[in-house]
Amino acid sequence: MRGRTALVTGSTSGIGLGIARSLAAAGARVAVTGLGDSGEIEAAVSAVRDAGAPEARYFPADLRDPAAITALVGVVRAWGSIDVLVNNAGMQHAAPLERMPPGKWDDILALNLSAAFHTMRLVLPGMAERGFGRVINVASVHGLVASVDKAPYVASKFGLVGLSKVAALEYASAGSRESGGVTVNCICPGWVETPLIEPQIEARRDGGSRDDGVRALLSEKQPSLRMTLPEEIGALATWLCRREAHNLTGASLPVDGGWTAQ
């Protein structure tokens, strides 16, 4: 990854931070972006620097806003050509369809799906010109199967899986084996230990401990009964960036302890 620049959305926390640290350890320059208070942002940038990207920098943007995405891509591109784009920023809200606030639908679709359309339309042409590019979209098992109470989340993640396949096809012939080509893939995690799933752990504690909540959550759907760690998703994302992965495109890779094998 030496000499490559990566833009990782949602890298101030959770899976995005795990991916940013893994890419940094492999030698990439990393553009960190996401929301959070100044302490959280500083801690994320230092963690990415410590992992091996001393030049790592924070670029602010609320990715629900297409104009903010255009501005973000512009400033990051002025810093380094974007060779790796990780669309990871995402949000969740659980409620039955009839009680889902319409504003949550709009926000979740804007962030989890439309933001990836905008970053990809801006970044993919440059990748094709250079003959190398990697787009990694962090979807979810909920891009492959549904669960109750997650209408906008599931709709956005199924959309992201479909969008990624279209982009993979449109750029499949860019570059060469030697240059590494341009690939677009989704990673589809089951439960990963991050702040995003804390409300769902809390909802299953039933008066017990956090561990009881975790056990209840995993036993519903994830047969391994183990959560994935953000750095484990980071290791897969980093492998997808290797030149040898030039022919792995348009895929949706589950990391779900067997959830979608059932």
**Residues 132, 153, 158, 171: which is the catalytic one?**
153
CB 52 within 8 A of CB 26: yes
Residue 171 annotated in active site: no
Q: Residue 254 contacts by C-beta under 8 Å, 6 or more apart in sequence? A: 141, 144, 188, 189, 190, 260
48, burial (CB in 10 Å: exposed 0-12, middle 13-18, buried 19+): buried
Please, what is the minimum distance in Å from the beta carbon of residue 143 to ligand NAD? 8
As measured in angstroms, the least distance from the Cβ of 190 to ligand NAD is 6
Structure tokens at 198: 């804390």
Report the b/e string of 93-104 with b at 16+ CB within 10 A: beeeeeebeeeb
Q: How far is the CB of 243 from ligand NAD (least distance, A)?
A: 26
Sheet with strand 252-255: strands edge to edge? 57-58, 29-32, 5-8, 82-87, 132-138, 181-189, 252-255
Nearer to ligand NAD, 180 or 189 (CB): 189
Q: Choose between 40 and 170: whose C-beta lies nearer to ligand NAD.
A: 40
**Are 116 and 162 within 8 A, CB to CB?**
no
Residue count (the chain) = 262
Residue numbers at the binding site for ligand NAD (CB under 6 A): 10, 12-16, 34-36, 62-64, 88-91, 111-112, 138, 140, 189, 191-192, 194-197
The distance of closest approach from Cβ of residue 14 to ligand NAD in the complex, given in angstroms and rounded to an integer, is 2
DSSP string, 136-182: EEE--GGGTS--TT-HHHHHHHHHHHHHHHHHHHHTTTSS-TTT-EE
- State which residue, 36 or 223, has the beta carbon closest to ligand NAD: 36
Residue 53, SS3?
coil
Q: Please say which residue, 62 or 231, places its beta carbon nearer to ligand NAD.
A: 62
- Residue closer to ligand NAD by CB (options 31, 174) is 31
**Gap between the Cα atoms of 189 and 257, Å rounded:** 9
| Pairwise CA distance, residues 209 & 58, whole Å | 36
Q: Which is nearer to ligand NAD, 35 or 236 (CB)?
A: 35
Q: How far is the CB of 107 from ligand NAD (least distance, A)?
A: 7
Beta carbons of 202 and 96 less than 8 angstroms apart: no
Residue 176: CB minimum distance to ligand NAD, A: 32
Catalytic residues: 153
